[in-house]
Amino acid sequence: MTDEAASTEVHALLEVPGAERAAALERWLAAQPDAARAARILARTLATMDAELSDFLDAERLRFPLDAAAEQGADTAIKAELWAHASASSLITGEGADIPYGYARRAARTNPASEMAWAAVIESLNSDNTDFLGDDLETWIHLARQGTVPVEMVKRVFAGACTIAKQQRWSDADLAVLERLKPLVAEIQ
């Protein structure tokens, strides 16, 4: 099957009711002889959807096959795109803030150059502040000091969280966490 024919099959999943789309995508992925190629085709097909993308992602449990496809991706760009889509799907279907953030964080860590991944991180933070964000940022600060994660990543997540916290009027406790982390973020180079 050509890439174009496989892409047409993925696009046709828009016609599958949202409640059944995750299972249909799982079946499509399982039927593909090359999992990495399937991940690439899925990511590229989703990238061509404009207004349809939200409709496609508005399907319960779609994050699971998107996550599985990301795991099979052959390069970091494909993985990051699919995890960003898993994050968006989780947000659209109203799943808890830790789920969209977890996928978005994974996308950004996998491909820090991906603006799509960064948009997913910010969107996931915009949906709901999370109790674990402070701990996560502290861990990232430590890893950035060790050179394990890019400093830019920590700074972007922190700046996004600060902006959103002010817009949404996060609780005093959440704002205090961000205030406590501010000098730690400023000192990493």
DSSP symbols for 45-89: HHHH-STHHHHHH-STTTHHHHHHHHHH-SSHHHHHHHHHHHHHH
Q: What is the mean pLDDT of residues 95-119?
A: 89
Alpha helices, DSSP H, located in the chain: 3-12, 18-31, 35-48, 52-57, 63-72, 76-92, 98-110, 115-127, 133-146, 151-168, 172-187
Q: What is the pLDDT of residue 31?
A: 97
Phi and psi, residue 171, nearest 5°:
-65, 160
Top pLDDT among 67 and 154 is at: 67
CB 111 within 8 A of CB 117: yes
Residue 30 has pLDDT above 70, yes or no: yes
Q: What is the per-residue pLDDT for 128?
A: 62
Average pLDDT, the chain: 90
pLDDT at site 132: 67
pLDDT digits (tens, 9 = 90+) for 51-93: 899 999 999 999 999 999 999 999 999 999 999 999 999 999 9
The structure's pTM equals: 0.87
Angle at which helices 151-168 and 133-146 pack, to 10 degrees? 160
Give the start-to-end residue ranges of the domains of the chain.
Answer: 1-107, 129-189
Q: How far is CA 104 from CA 23, 27, 163, 172, in A?
A: 22, 25, 18, 25
Residue 111 confidence (pLDDT): 92
Question: Comparing C-alpha atoms, which of 155, 164, 165 is closest to residue 185?
Answer: 155
pLDDT band at 131 (very low <50, low <70, confident <90, very high): low
Mean pLDDT, residues 148-159: 86
Rounded Cα–Cα distance for residues 124 and 126 (Å): 5
CA dihedral (166, 167, 173, 178) positive or negative: negative
Of 60, 68, 64, 55, nearest to 13 (Cα)?
55
State residue 97's pLDDT score.
Answer: 64
